[in-house]
Amino acid sequence: MIVPCIDLMDGKVVQLIQGREKALEGASPDEMIEKFAAFPETQVIDRGAAMGRGSNDALVRHIASRAVTRVGGGVRSAERFRALLDQGARKVIVGTSAFTADGINTAFLSQLDPERLVVAVDSKGGRIVIKGWQEATRFTAEEVLRSLEPYCSGFLCTYVDKEGMMQGTDLDWFRRLRAATSLEITAAGGITTLDDIKALLAMAIRCAVGMAIYTGRLDLADLAPLAAG
């Protein structure tokens, strides 16, 4: 499956480089929903909430009312998790709050519905990063996937080193992740070409695609036949 991405900041659709530098602004949320109508699911990340810079709740609620979505960004309580489901999200993505200094935050994750939870296991420099990708932990993604399985339905794994840079992704890293878990994996970060996508789909890994779509490097018409693959 290919999952197009809508990232939100300051009430606008944006694309960021490595989660920090704004590279571009997209069309309105309604226009993006229309563009992505051929795809089974859209990923919506509230980047402002992820970085502690306010939230875009109204936009999230609006998008979730019009499209099948998985929503994340700043989900740091069970109440927030349930609120996003109530707003219409099919699944909710949790990253920072899934971890503590010592490892997995089982006390928090056990409060959530595993069937509706996707854990973000994002990596930069070989380590899982949290708090809007600004803080590194001492764990690798490969180390934690198996232990997280009882708490979620799948993983969003972003190769942050290449996120938004249009330089390709690390297929070897994703192969290692695929070998580490039997649950659904969605890959993100640096996915730039149809060859990248076909290689990931061949591993039974879903592809979350953002910058390559927004810049026109990937054509939605070319992606549509692979959308549900």
What pTM was estimated for this model as a whole? 0.92
- Residue 229 confidence (pLDDT) above 70: no
Active-site residue, from 122, 195, 196, 222: 122
Label residue 158 by pLDDT band (50, 70, 90): very high
Q: Is 122 a catalytic residue?
A: yes
113-to-33, 90, 94, 122, 184 alpha-carbon distances in Å: 27, 12, 12, 21, 16
Please give the torsion angle defined by the CA atoms of residues 93, 94, 95 and 97, in that order, rounded to the nearest 10 degrees.
170
Kindly list the structural domains of the chain, giving each domain's residue range(s) and its CATH number in brackets, ordered by start: 2-226 (3.20.20.70)
- Residue 228 confidence (pLDDT) above 90: no
- Residue 164 confidence (pLDDT) above 70: no
Amino acid sitting at position 129: V
The per-residue pLDDT for 17 is: 75
Residue pLDDT, tens place only, 181-202: 999 999 999 999 999 999 999 9
Q: Is 46 a catalytic residue?
A: no
Residue pLDDT, tens place only, 207-218: 999 999 999 999
Amino acid sitting at position 62: H
Q: Of residues 166 and 138, which shows the higher confidence score? A: 138
Active-site residue, from 7, 30, 113, 170: 7
CB 144 within 8 A of CB 96: no
DSSP 153: S
- Residue 225: Cβ within 10 Å count: 10
